Every structure is written in C-alpha cells, then in structure tokens.
C-alpha cells in the first residue's frame, strides 16, 4: 500500500515542450525502445542528473 501513496507523492504536474529534428527524435525514441526504456524516462533522468551536477546547494 505504501507504493501507491509514494506514487501519488511523485505525480508529475508539469510539462516541458521542446522542438527538435524529427530524425533525431525518431532515433532517440527507437534507441530507448531497444533499451527497454521510454524517452520520457530518459529525459527525466537526464534532467535530474544535470541538476545534481550543476545545481547550487
């Protein structure tokens, strides 16, 4: 039951819209599928890592 509560606490409530070349987007999505992950998950991971590496404390 705790898992369900944890999921509600981390509910996504914002979007980031970006424009990129269709070929790059398609290659990225295909690569993510091949690696059994999603494009959104990998972009979120990139953002979290970027903040950890470059953010101020």
Are the beta carbons of 42 and 32 closer than 8 angstroms?
yes
Residue carrying the six token digits 């953002």: 47
Q: Which two structure tokens, joined as six digits, stand for 24? A: 């790059």
| In a domain? residue 6 | no
With respect to residue 50, please indicate whether it lies within any of the assigned structural domains.
yes
Say if 27 falls within a structural domain: yes
Higher pLDDT: 33 or 11? It is: 33
Q: Residue 24 is part of which domain span? A: 19-57
Is 7 part of any domain? Answer: no
Inside any domain, residue 8: no
Note the pLDDT tens digit of each residue in 20-48.
999 999 999 999 999 999 999 999 999 99
* Count: domains in the chain: 1
Query: Does residue 12 come out as left (phi exceeding 0), alpha (psi in the -120 to 50 range) or beta?
Result: beta
Within a domain: residue 54? yes
């Amino acid at each position: 039951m705790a898992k369900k509560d944890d999921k509600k606490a981390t509910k996504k409530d914002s979007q980031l819209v970006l424009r990129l070349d269709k070929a790059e987007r398609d290659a990225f999505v295909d690569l993510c599928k091949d690696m059994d992950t999603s494009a959104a998950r990998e972009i979120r991971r990139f953002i979290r890592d970027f903040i950890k590496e470059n953010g101020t404390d």
